[in-house]
Amino acid sequence: MLHESDLKKFLRCDKYYWFSKQKSVPYLPFVTHNYDIYELIQEYLELKDPFVGQRGDETSKTLEAYHEGKNLINARISYRDFRINIPCLVQKEDKKVLYLVYSNCYPKANEAQKIHDLLKVMSFNGMEVDEIYLLHINANYERGESFNVSECLMVSDEFYNDRCKKCGKIMDHVNACERDLDDIIDRIHALGDMSEVKKERSSVCTAHYKCEYFNDCFPNAFHDTSIMNLVQSSKKYDCLEMGIDDMAQVVGDEVEASRMQYAQIMAAKKQGLFVDKFALMGWLSKITYPITYLDFEWQTYVYPPYEKMKPFDVLVFQYSMHVEDENGLRHEEYIGKEDCRIEFIEDLISKIPDTGTILVFNAQGAEALRLQQLAEQFPQYEEKLRSIWERMLDLALPFSCGLVYDVRMAGEYNLKKLLSLFSDLSYDELEINQGLLAVKKYRELENEENEEIKQALYKYCEMDTYAEYVLYHYLKDLVKK
Ligand code: SF4
């Protein structure tokens, strides 16, 4: 059976689709869906006794409910072996209204293709639609004491653009999406064994995110100084065509020459390490003792689970803090459960030093933002929280801005990679060794007390702040040399 996601994969890259059928990559959801959207829409639209589709339903079952005049929720229909879901069809006396349901705040126009396919398959099956709306989450909803579905969801007859502004009627976009479903289905079926098919690397392989099968397609294809590891560069493909496959070969304006790219190229020419000592000393001079190394863990909820939260707000459930002062290094930690926001704030405030620099890896996009959100929800703590985020300094900056670049970084500068390069430490031995796994384990911990999981979470977060301590001292040592 083929699904819309299969068509999408195939049209992105035939080998990508083929891989996805050979070995699926486990999916760890980034956000927590704390309500079932299909239950919410029944309540929102006040649908009594609708037909609710189940996994594996035959089209005949859906059609039977349709002809009985029932409202349909998440109902399956097929054309050939292509199966697609009808999210919600409300059958009124005078018209049939199709609601496209989204667990996000701004459904984008790129959804129009899927709607076009859905309407086509519905039409193949003799189903009619008179009106179409998008049913999605209201970004401005702020939860009160209880969850209010009629305020949290909303209906729109337009799609949204990347700036979250309305950008045109649904059918104007859908009508522009004509495509030959039969042709695509036939081409998928004709796909043979692609294990031996050699693909050229293209922007498709890394557009938006790196393809899950990248290493299968190009095993060890790129050495550390490969031009393909040049960051934020669209010109690297031109370089390849000109025969420049190593950053060390770049001499002039073949690339964009950002500060980071300059560091990469210089390190490649030296076959080792590039350090902008002057700039690094300037950055280090901002740091004052005591130094606090800080890291948070959090989870993102699609629907606000507690008062004063909005859709897709995060709830910080853990912190780790190493404090370095004249007495050496000490460690503090916290894990909370359920609505632990106030407990988290009070615990943090009580243990963090009142003075000195707070070093955080990716501070502005993460920890500082988390504290600002908490200050909005609990203004009584704003002053103290502000004093924390205002003392934060981003430890990622020397690496992301090209102050320090080691060819072994191969274009990456995340905390785990840097720790493994500049110390003997590694996350590999830890039971929890990445952020999404920490969130998954925390979800388990929320359901039942489990000391083992709690300890594994403590160790993971502690490793992050210890890694920050190690990196800071690595940078400090560099300017002494
Ligand atoms: S790495 Fe590129 S060529 Fe290989 S499967 Fe992914 S998108 Fe296709």
Residue nearest to atom 4 of ligand 1 (CA): 217
How far does the centroid of ligand 1 lie from the alpha carbon of residue 199, in Å?
Answer: 7
Tokens 């043979």 identify what position? 192
Domain boundary among 255, 271, 287: 271
Residue nearest to atom 1 of ligand 1 (CA): 214
Nearest atom of ligand 1 to the alpha carbon of 211: 6
Q: What is the pLDDT of residue 304?
A: 97
* Pair (133, 256) in one structural domain: no
Domain boundary among 186, 214, 249: 186
| pLDDT above 80 (res 221) | no
- Phi and psi, residue 318, nearest 5°: -155, 145
* Pair (43, 114) in one structural domain: yes
How far does the centroid of ligand 1 lie from the alpha carbon of residue 106, in Å?
Answer: 29
Tokens 């359901």 identify what position? 447
* Pair (260, 152) in one structural domain: no
Q: Which of 176-190, 203-217, 221-235 is modeled with the greatest confidence?
A: 176-190
Nearest atom of ligand 1 to the alpha carbon of 202: 2
Nearest atom of ligand 1 to the alpha carbon of 217: 4
Q: What is the pLDDT of residue 456?
A: 95
The helix, strand and coil proportions of the chain, stated in percent and rounded to the nearest 5, come to: 40, 20, 40
Q: How confident is the model at residue 29 (pLDDT cuts 50, 70, 90)?
A: confident
Q: Using a 6 Å cutoff on CB, does residue 13 contact ligand 1?
A: yes
Q: Which of 22-31, 185-194, 227-236 has the lowest mean pLDDT?
A: 22-31
pLDDT digits (tens, 9 = 90+) for 299-354: 999 999 999 999 999 999 999 999 999 999 999 999 999 999 999 999 999 999 99
- Rounded to the nearest integer, the mean pLDDT of the chain is 93
* Pair (30, 155) in one structural domain: yes
Residue at 248 is within a domain: yes
Q: What is the pLDDT of residue 30?
A: 83
Residue at 66 is within a domain: yes
What is the rounded distance in angstroms from the CA atom of residue 122 to the CA atom of residue 179?
A: 15
Q: What is the pLDDT of residue 202?
A: 79
pLDDT digits (tens, 9 = 90+) for 425-468: 999 889 998 888 899 899 888 888 889 999 999 999 999 999 99
First to last CA, the chain: 62
Q: What is the pLDDT of residue 237?
A: 81
How far does the centroid of ligand 1 lie from the alpha carbon of residue 25, in Å?
Answer: 14
Residue nearest to atom 5 of ligand 1 (CA): 16
Q: What is the pLDDT of residue 256?
A: 81
Residue at 267 is within a domain: yes
Q: What is the mean pLDDT of residues 216-229?
A: 84
* Cα–chain center distance at 304: 18
Q: Using a 6 Å cutoff on CB, does residue 199 contact ligand 1?
A: yes
Q: What is the pLDDT of residue 64?
A: 97
Q: What is the pLDDT of residue 453?
A: 94
Other CB atoms within a 10 A radius of the CB of residue 209 amount to: 7
Residue nearest to atom 3 of ligand 1 (CA): 199
Q: How confident is the model at residue 19 (pLDDT cuts 50, 70, 90)?
A: very high
Query: In whole angstroms, how far apart are CA 9 and each of 4, 14, 184, 185, 188?
Result: 9, 7, 12, 12, 10
Q: Using a 6 Å cutoff on CB, does residue 228 contact ligand 1?
A: no
| pLDDT above 80 (res 211) | yes
Domain boundary among 169, 186, 203: 186
Q: What is the pLDDT of residue 231?
A: 87
| pLDDT above 90 (res 243) | no
Q: Which domain holds residue 267?
A: 222-271
DSSP H helices in 390-450:
397-400, 415-422, 435-447
How far does the centroid of ligand 1 lie from the alpha carbon of residue 347, in Å?
Answer: 47
| pLDDT above 90 (res 381) | yes
* Pair (473, 415) in one structural domain: yes
* Pair (258, 284) in one structural domain: no
Residue at 329 is within a domain: yes
Residue at 204 is within a domain: no
Tokens at residue 21, please?
A: 């059928």
Q: What is the pLDDT of residue 181?
A: 95
Nearest atom of ligand 1 to the alpha carbon of 14: 8
* Pair (263, 365) in one structural domain: no
Residue 33: helix, strand or coil by DSSP? coil
Q: What is the pLDDT of residue 197?
A: 83
CA-wise closest residue to 232 among 263, 201, 211: 263
| pLDDT above 90 (res 93) | no
How far does the centroid of ligand 1 lie from the alpha carbon of residue 16, in Å?
Answer: 5
- DSSP 8-state assignment for residue 110: G
Q: Using a 6 Å cutoff on CB, does residue 10 contact ligand 1?
A: no
CA-wise closest residue to 148 among 366, 307, 298, 258: 307
Tokens at residue 160, please?
A: 């949204």
Residue at 196 is within a domain: no
Residue at 201 is within a domain: no
What is the rounded distance in angstroms from the CA atom of residue 90 to the CA atom of residue 74?
A: 12
| pLDDT above 80 (res 15) | yes
How far does the centroid of ligand 1 lie from the alpha carbon of residue 273, in Å?
Answer: 31
Q: What is the pLDDT of residue 118?
A: 97
| pLDDT above 80 (res 220) | no
How far does the centroid of ligand 1 lie from the alpha carbon of residue 200, in Å?
Answer: 8
* Pair (289, 438) in one structural domain: yes
* Pair (361, 255) in one structural domain: no
Q: How confident is the model at residue 240 (pLDDT cuts 50, 70, 90)?
A: confident
Q: Give, for ligand 1, the residue of 22, 23, 197, 204 to mutate: max count of ligand atoms closer than 8 Å to Cβ.
A: 204
How far does the centroid of ligand 1 lie from the alpha carbon of residue 412, in Å?
Answer: 20
* Pair (180, 232) in one structural domain: no
Q: What is the pLDDT of residue 214?
A: 87
Q: What is the pLDDT of residue 223?
A: 87
Residue at 26 is within a domain: yes
| pLDDT above 90 (res 206) | no
Residue nearest to atom 2 of ligand 1 (CA): 205
Q: Which of 35-44, 216-225, 298-307, 308-317 has the lowest mean pLDDT?
A: 216-225
Q: What is the pLDDT of residue 403?
A: 96
| pLDDT above 80 (res 363) | yes
Nearest atom of ligand 1 to the alpha carbon of 199: 3
- DSSP 8-state assignment for residue 179: -
Q: What is the mean pLDDT of residues 383-402?
A: 96
* Pair (277, 261) in one structural domain: no
pLDDT digits (tens, 9 = 90+) for 147-203: 999 999 999 999 999 999 999 999 999 999 999 999 999 999 999 888 888 888 777
pTM: 0.87
- Phi and psi, residue 413, nearest 5°: -145, 45
Structural domains of the chain, count: 3
CATH of the domain at 369: 3.30.420
Nearest atom of ligand 1 to the alpha carbon of 212: 6
Q: What is the pLDDT of residue 446?
A: 86
Tokens at residue 419, please?
A: 């720790």
How far does the centroid of ligand 1 lie from the alpha carbon of residue 205, in Å?
Answer: 5
* Pair (289, 329) in one structural domain: yes
CA angle 83-87-88, nearest 5°? 130
